[in-house]
Structure formats: C-alpha cells, structure tokens
Amino acid sequence: MGKNVRYRMIKLNETHNPELKSWITSANEDTTDFPIQNLPFGMYRHRGESGSFRGCTAIGDFILDLRAVNVECVDSLNTLASKGKQEWSRIRGLLSHALSNETQRESLEPYLFPLKDVELGLPVFTRDYTDFFTSYYHAYNTGKLFKPDEPVTPNFKWMPIAYHGRASSIVVSGTEILRPYGQILPVGENQPIMAPSRFLDFESELGIIIGPGNKMGETVGIDDAEDRIFGFVLLNDWSARDIQAWEYQPLGPFLSKSFATTISPWIITLEALAPFRSPAFKRFENDPPPLPHLTSISNAKNGHFSIRIEARLRSEECTNEILSSANYNSSYWNPAQLVVHHASNGCPMSPGDILGTGTISGPEASEAGAMLELGQMGAKPVLLSNGDQRSALNNGDTLTLCARCSDSKFRAIGFGEASGKILQAK
C-alpha cells in the first residue's frame, strides 16, 4: 500500500450527535430524509417565480435559505463548492446550532419555507461529467450476457474505467424524459434503422460533486482526494440499450446516454456521511492489489461509504414498486480512487463537475441496478407484484431513485429523490 497515511478523514463532531433535535418538528421524525444531522446543500426559488435560484439547506419538510447564516449563493453552489471543506464545515456548524436552538427561531423564520412551496433547481453548474464503471457485479452481470467466456475485461481490476459524458443534458429530478431516437440494428438485419429506442433503461448511481478542482497537469494523491469532493447526489444514467448495442464499438456509448441524465437536487456532504464510512471493497482471492497511487492504509480501512440505493417504478399498472436495492460499498472502486484516477494524467477538474459512480449492483439478483441486469436482456423479464412483466421501461413510467444511510449508533439520513417520467418520442 501507499506510504501516505495522512488521510484527512472528516471526524465526528457535535453535528452528528444522534440525540440532537431541531425546533422544526418534522426534522425529528424517524422517516425524514433530512434530520438536523444531514443538512444538505441545494438551490431553490419560490414556486411559480422565474427569478434566480438561491442556496438553501433541507430540514424536515422545510428549506432554509442560506442567507439566514449570512451565506449568499445565487444561480448555483459552484462558488461554495470551490471554497473547500473548512468552509462547508463552518456553515454546517452554523446551521446545526441555529436549527437546534429555539432562541434562533424568530430570526430564522423569515428564511424558512415549506418544501412543497418551492421549486428545487440543479445544485451546481456542471462543465464536465464523467461516468465510471465501478461495480464488479454490474460488470460481471452485463458482461456475461455478451461475452460469457470473459465477462469482466482484464483492465477492470486495475483501474476505474470511465467515459466522458454529456454535461448539457444533466437535468434535475422531476424533469420529464423524452424517449430518444437513434440508429438501431434489428436482430437478423444488416442495415440499421432510425427509430425510437425500444429498450429504454435506468442505471442506479451516485454522482460525486467536485469541490476545489485541480489545475491542468496537477495530480491528486489518494489521501488528499476527499478534499476535492463537495458531496454526493443521486444519479440516473438513462440508457437506450438498443442504440448503445449498435454504436458502442469501438469508442463506447454516445447517443445512447447523452439524451438525459437525472440528478437529485440535494448535495449530501462528506461530513454528513462521516458516520457511515466502511472499508474499501474486499478484493477476491487472486485479484491484483491496487497500484500504489490508488491505495493507502487509511483508504483501505475507511475509504468507502455504506449508502443503500433503491430504484422504484410507478406506472399505470403499479405504484412505487421496488425494482432493486443495493449498497454502494459493494462497488469495487471507492470515491477517492475515482478522483485520483481521473487526475492521474493531469486532467483538470472544476467545481461542480460530476463523477458518476457507474451502476451500483450487489451480489444478489435483487441488487442489480439496471433493467438490463434484472431482466437479463429480455431473457427473464422482471415480474411485478401485479403480475405484469417488464424487460424495459415504458412510456408513462416514472423511475425514482432514493437512498438512505442508517446505523444503529447514528441518526439515519436520506438523499431525497432523483425521479423522471418517460414520455413518448417526438
């Protein structure tokens, strides 16, 4: 392992106290995603208005404008993201103190609004979006459908594989998704057709939001990498599998992915996630160890996060059907390793950039994070509770990702939702 053991892990403090309560009663309910121990960052404006979005945090069923603690964010959180973890932690401390002390209520109430009365926007302006491929189980499950003799490529266990996505089509939760057109090669034919995708899929992912970037030519050390991470969002990498099958060789996916990527509006900070750390993925027997720049003693011990992510389907036939549920810590590569690998050739990253974790799938069949895996490319359609069968997503379907962190010693926190309804192709 690497010799650098200076892993500047965020330590637990008074903001993580599971006994801490807010004077906002909905924040104290067991079912809320946003107790006072969470305090994510987002952007809002009043519903029906067309003005700028402003920075806020979520607390129970309310949002609190960050101006309540003298923090000004207009249009995006990029400036805040660039300031680094000491400033993020300072603001978190101010919010925690203000929202847990009844004496602060009168001064904060002018900045407090019900969630149902506001519109949430994209939390950051993203210049660049990279999507990784980090789950061994996803790689194996999909690989065996196409190359059963070698389902996992030789490079997978040596580095986090990725492709450069399209930042312009990143949308916030609630945005409707048009079924895309594309070139498709029908089975048994030798000439493609131009048609709406017949195999529209989801991918359960998290998005890593970059904070302070790195300059061109500058690399990032494994024990410094988390200093570059502002936090996490939910991410659905919508995928048109039939378009993807025809276009992906030799340069990888393009139009099959670039039509839409949905993210949740709330950035869950690393400080909020500190109680839910877990060890790096335990490699299989005979797997090669990570190269020195991709590992350290501290990263191996605490470099991953226990975050359970679910995919839910709502349609005319079913309501809130859970399609899959998996834990992010089952992914082969962890967040710091993705940052390190991304910068290892000197590639610059900027505040607000997004690194997708890739589909999060676990070892069990119910933990597959995409319809491609769940339905085995149509060979074994997904059976819904009402008897309906699915191999792909239909027009009118709403696919929602949600995630939650829980531990018996700490207060559970959630991520909100990343949701999109599929509309007929134009």
pLDDT tens string 401-423? 999 999 999 999 999 999 999 99
Q: What's the whole-number mean pLDDT along residues 225-254?
A: 97
What per-residue confidence (pLDDT) applies to 318?
A: 80
Catalytic residue among 16, 138, 341, 342: 138
Residue 164: active-site member: no
Domain with CATH 2.30.30.230 in the chain: 14-120
Domain with CATH 3.90.850.10 in the chain: 129-423
For the cut 90, the answer to whether the pLDDT of residue 1 exceeds it is: no
CATH number for the domain whose boundaries are 129-423 = 3.90.850.10
Give the pLDDT confidence of 110-158 residue by residue, as tens digits: 999 999 999 999 999 999 999 999 999 999 999 999 889 999 999 999 9
Q: What's the whole-number mean pLDDT along residues 292-316?
A: 97
Pull the structure tokens for residue 410.
């700490």
What per-residue confidence (pLDDT) applies to 402?
A: 98
Percent of the chain scoring above 70 in pLDDT: 98
- The third-level CATH classification (topology) of the domain covering 14-120 is SH3 type barrels. (2.30.30)
Q: State the Cα–Cα distance between residues 19 and 195, nearest whole angstrom.
A: 56
Pull the structure tokens for residue 243.
């378009």
Q: State the Cα–Cα distance between residues 405 and 128, nearest whole angstrom.
A: 28
The mean predicted confidence, pLDDT, of the chain is 96
For the cut 50, the answer to whether the pLDDT of residue 223 exceeds it is: yes
Percent of the chain scoring above 90 in pLDDT: 92
What per-residue confidence (pLDDT) applies to 7?
A: 45
Our CA dihedral for 352, 226, 276, 292, rounded to 10 degrees, sits at 130
- The answer to which of 258-272, 332-346, 369-383 has the lowest mean pLDDT is 369-383
What per-residue confidence (pLDDT) applies to 4?
A: 39
Any long-range contacts for 373-378 (C-beta under 8 Å, 24+ apart)?
A: 373/138, 373/141, 373/142, 374/323, 374/324, 376/145, 377/145, 377/241, 378/199
- The answer to which of 2-11, 67-76, 256-265, 336-345 has the lowest mean pLDDT is 2-11
DSSP 8-state secondary structure symbol assigned to residue 280: P
Burial class (CB in 10 A: 0-12, 13-18, 19+), 269: buried
Give the pLDDT confidence of 18-70 residue by residue, as tens digits: 999 999 999 999 999 999 999 999 999 999 999 999 999 999 999 999 999 99
Pull the structure tokens for residue 324.
């899959």
Our CA dihedral for 214, 220, 225, 230, rounded to 10 degrees, sits at 10
Q: What's the whole-number mean pLDDT along residues 254-278?
A: 98
Q: State the Cα–Cα distance between residues 403 and 414, nearest whole angstrom.
A: 6
What per-residue confidence (pLDDT) applies to 172?
A: 98
Nearest of 68, 37, 283, 257 to residue 169 by alpha carbon: 257
Q: State the Cα–Cα distance between residues 418 and 426, nearest whole angstrom.
A: 23
Nearest of 96, 355, 341 to residue 230 by alpha carbon: 355
Q: State the Cα–Cα distance between residues 396 and 114, nearest whole angstrom.
A: 29
What per-residue confidence (pLDDT) applies to 8?
A: 56
Give the pLDDT confidence of 184-207 residue by residue, as tens digits: 999 999 999 999 999 999 999 999
- CB 123: neighbour CB atoms within 10 A? 30
